[in-house]
Amino acid sequence: MNGSAYDKFPVTKICTGSQCAWSGWQAIVDILKRRLADAGRTGVLIVDTYSGVDVDAVADTLGAALNPTLRIDTAQLLKPAAAIDHMLAADLGDDPVFGRMTERSLADFFDPARLQMAREKLCNRAGGTAVVCGPGAALLAQNGHSQNGHSQNGHAQGDGAQSGQLIIYADMARWPIQQRFRDGTAGNLGADNPSDSAARKYKRAYFVDWRVLDRHKNSIFDRIAYFLDTTNPREPKLISGDAMRRSLALLTRRPFRVVPFFDPAPWGGRWMQSHFHLDPAMPNFGWGFDCVPEENSLLLQFGQTVAEIPAANLVQRHPEALMGEFVYRRFGLEFPIRFDMLDTIQGGNLSLQVHPLADYIRRHFGLAYTQDESYYILDALPGASVYLGVHDPIDCQKFADELHGAQRGERPFIPDAYVNRWPAQKHDHFLIPAGTCHCSGAGNLVLEISATPYIFTFKLWDWGRLGLDGLPRPVHLDHGLANIQWNRGAHWVKANLINQLRPVAHHADWREERTGLHESQFIETRRHWFTGTVLHQSTGSVNVLNLVQGEQVIVESPSHSFDPMIIHYAETFIVPAEAGDYRITPVGPKPTTPWATIKAMVRTEN
């Protein structure tokens, strides 16, 4: 198994026709001209935009093609940047990493007087086409009501066919947005911060921008006539609103993969770089994110057009069908399971860290659940190890003093003097409930299976190294020390957190075993070893799986309710709750060892 077949750009085919999607500015402009012509002399093109979209480029292109008599840029309608900064101060605080999820709405960012003047200009213009472009552009729309005041049906007439208003939404997934933060081509909503660090922009986007913009996008989703994909600005894609809405509903009834993304790290290794054919010019790749729907994208194929959309749209629009009724009741519009890869093979140790307890994250950051996680070892070099749990007995005060001294630069911290180090081998599973000191050592390829609020990591020691930006990475000793569970010593860890295998069922062609997680964690994991077909029955919860052994398998519906799907070694895929039962069958010659999958789901009893 070398991972060479790993598909970095998985495409989900939606339809074979070509009347619902268009590629390139010329085709896009042609369809918009035809639609605006239907509106007569008072057509209004409203282009609402998500974070990261190059609003000026979109507005200039459409303006040059449509020659509007009125053009409104919503950036000119916002409150001054300083006023917005003041408004968000309580949400963002002073910490370089952490804040609180904002409860603000997009309307809070606008100057009411400017917004009203723009509406009057739009209403009182003599004629011709008007173009409104930028975040919140739909706030100037007629809110789904036709000009005669009668309410429009959002699904049937919500595209503005009768009102003369055509709403387009220029969307973007969060990973491309982060790339734009890094190269300086994107800033934050209502901020004058083009020169801010990518980390500061990400923090503000995570706690403010994306929350505000997601709520706004959801409020207008059924009235959007077209979705615009400018992830590749040289080859934009336009998808009809109806086709987009149908495609999201379709995805809840079949397995799918999100588009993985990879990133270097100060501790990063070389396994993924070699096996997945990643850019050899990069120093390393430490992170591989292949199931973080909040930030991953989806590639959807409409005829010959492949468009990239945020996977978060699926979570936001169909949470119950995707995740299951009881999961939705507990987690709302948040996908609760994350799979990612941590590569330290030919790399270094991760930071020594701890995650907040559930009560702590609720009180300090306003989140309903915390980041319990686990390390599943996909591959390991001889001598690889994992740090997990503290020594027993331990001098807590000395531990804290040593960390503070290291943070001040007095002397390096020696983790082995306080934290247990365990040998790691392929297919080991280390469970890491919140409050447990942990760190993957060098020489591991870890499949990290965890709950979703993934930025809430309290680093205790980062081995005295700098980040890739040449600056020290933030360490949060006060938060970390307040959460360490000092009773999780070597005996407790071995008895509760390492390879907690329990047979579940067996057959001539397969066996199923429980591998965790700890009883305090809401994620259940099951591993199947198999040489023939395995039937997986629907549990009422979304399933997330990774092929951890074997070259490839095929995933099928026993009732033929979805098309078969090929999965390769190390690929993660999602099976929605509404997809029902599914079966997994090995493909290719029988290897010397069985195939294996690891499956995660939300426990029904927690």
Q: How far is CA 190 from CA 194, 197, 199, in A?
A: 11, 16, 17
- From CA 323, how far away is CA 334, in angstroms rounded? 9
In the 8-state DSSP scheme, what is residue 503?
E
pLDDT mean over 15-43: 84
- From CA 259, how far away is CA 552, in angstroms rounded? 18
pLDDT confidence of residue 464:
87
pLDDT confidence of residue 471:
74
pLDDT mean over 482-497: 96
Neighbours of 405 (CB within 10 A): 13
- From CA 376, how far away is CA 575, in angstroms rounded? 20
Q: How far is CA 496 from CA 330, 488, 500, 516, in A?
A: 26, 9, 7, 9
Q: Which residues make Cβ contacts (< 8 Å) with residue 414, sequence separation at least 6?
A: 402
In the 8-state DSSP scheme, what is residue 205?
I
pLDDT confidence of residue 79:
98
Residues 403/352, Cβ–Cβ less than 8 Å? no
Tell me whether domains 25-237 and 502-602 share a fold.
Answer: no
423 cis-preceded (ω within 30 degrees of 0): no
Q: How confident is the model at residue 367 (pLDDT cuts 50, 70, 90)?
A: confident
Between residues 584 and 588, which one has the greater pLDDT? Answer: 584
pLDDT confidence of residue 605:
64
Q: How confident is the model at residue 53 (pLDDT cuts 50, 70, 90)?
A: very high
- From CA 4, how far away is CA 6, in angstroms rounded? 6
Residues 231/310, Cβ–Cβ less than 8 Å? no
Whether the per-residue pLDDT at 269 is higher than 50: the answer is yes
Whether the per-residue pLDDT at 157 is higher than 50: the answer is no
pLDDT mean over 221-244: 96
Neighbours of 141 (CB within 10 A): 21
| The two structure tokens encoding residue 296 | 């991953």
**pTM for the complete prediction?**
0.93
What is the DSSP track for 411-466?
S---GGGTEEEEE--TT-EEEE-TT--EEE-TTEEEEEEEES-TT--EEEE-TT-B
| The two structure tokens encoding residue 148 | 């005669």
Share of the chain above pLDDT 90, in %: 81
- Residue in this structure with the two tokens 């303006």, named with its chain if needed: 63
pLDDT confidence of residue 148:
32
Beta strands at 11-15 and 297-302: parallel, antiparallel or unpaired: parallel
Whether the per-residue pLDDT at 409 is higher than 70: the answer is yes
- From CA 210, how far away is CA 294, in angstroms rounded? 10
Residues 453/370, Cβ–Cβ less than 8 Å? yes
pLDDT confidence of residue 525:
95
- Residue 178 Cα to chain centre, angstroms: 12
Upper half-sphere CA count for residue 604 (Cβ side, 13 Å): 9
Residues 147/168, Cβ–Cβ less than 8 Å? no
- From CA 293, how far away is CA 289, in angstroms rounded? 9
Neighbours of 343 (CB within 10 A): 29
pLDDT confidence of residue 454:
63
- From CA 324, how far away is CA 472, in angstroms rounded? 42
Query: Can you give the length of the chain in residues?
Result: 606
Alpha-carbon torsion, ordered 159, 162, 166, 172, to 10 deg: -10
Neighbours of 147 (CB within 10 A): 12
Question: Which residues pair with residue 431 across a beta bridge?
Answer: 374
- Tell me the three state secondary structure of residue 91: helix
pLDDT confidence of residue 500:
93
The domain 502-602 having CATH identifier 2.60.120.10: the answer here is yes
- From CA 535, how far away is CA 136, in angstroms rounded? 47
Whether the per-residue pLDDT at 230 is higher than 70: the answer is yes
pLDDT confidence of residue 158:
47
Q: How confident is the model at residue 16 (pLDDT cuts 50, 70, 90)?
A: low
Whether the per-residue pLDDT at 152 is higher than 60: the answer is no
Phi, psi (degrees; rounded to nearest 5) at 67: 50, 60
Beta strands at 226-229 and 165-171: parallel, antiparallel or unpaired: parallel
Whether the per-residue pLDDT at 78 is higher than 80: the answer is yes
Q: Which of 13-27, 353-367, 374-388, 582-596 has the highest mean pLDDT?
A: 374-388
Among residues 237, 235, 229, 234, the alpha carbon closest in space to that of 21 is found at 237
Whether the per-residue pLDDT at 147 is higher than 60: the answer is no
Residues 255/555, Cβ–Cβ less than 8 Å? yes
pLDDT confidence of residue 1:
62
| The two structure tokens encoding residue 576 | 């929605």
User: For the domain 261-294+322-496, what is the CATH superfamily, name and number?
Assistant: Jelly Rolls (2.60.120.10)
pLDDT by residue (tens digit) across 313-335? 999 999 999 999 999 999 999 99
Whether the per-residue pLDDT at 159 is higher than 80: the answer is no
- From CA 64, how far away is CA 399, in angstroms rounded? 65
| The two structure tokens encoding residue 286 | 């430490």
Q: How confident is the model at residue 191 (pLDDT cuts 50, 70, 90)?
A: very high
CATH number (1.10.1200, 2.60.120, 1.25.40, 3.40.50) of 25-237 reads 3.40.50
Q: How confident is the model at residue 149 (pLDDT cuts 50, 70, 90)?
A: very low
pLDDT by residue (tens digit) across 447-486? 999 987 667 899 999 998 888 777 778 899 999 999 999 9
pLDDT confidence of residue 39:
65
Share of the chain above pLDDT 70, in %: 94
- Tell me the three state secondary structure of residue 226: strand
pLDDT by residue (tens digit) across 195-209? 899 999 999 999 999
* Average per-residue pLDDT for the chain: 91
Give, to the nearest 10 degrees, the angle between helix 55-66 and helix 25-38. 60
Domain ranges of the chain: 25-237, 261-294+322-496, 502-602
pLDDT confidence of residue 606:
46
Residues 55/75, Cβ–Cβ less than 8 Å? yes
Neighbours of 425 (CB within 10 A): 12
Question: Which residues pair with residue 297 across a beta bridge?
Answer: 259, 310
Among residues 247, 91, 207, 216, the alpha carbon closest in space to that of 456 is found at 207
- Tell me the three state secondary structure of residue 147: coil
- Tell me the three state secondary structure of residue 281: coil
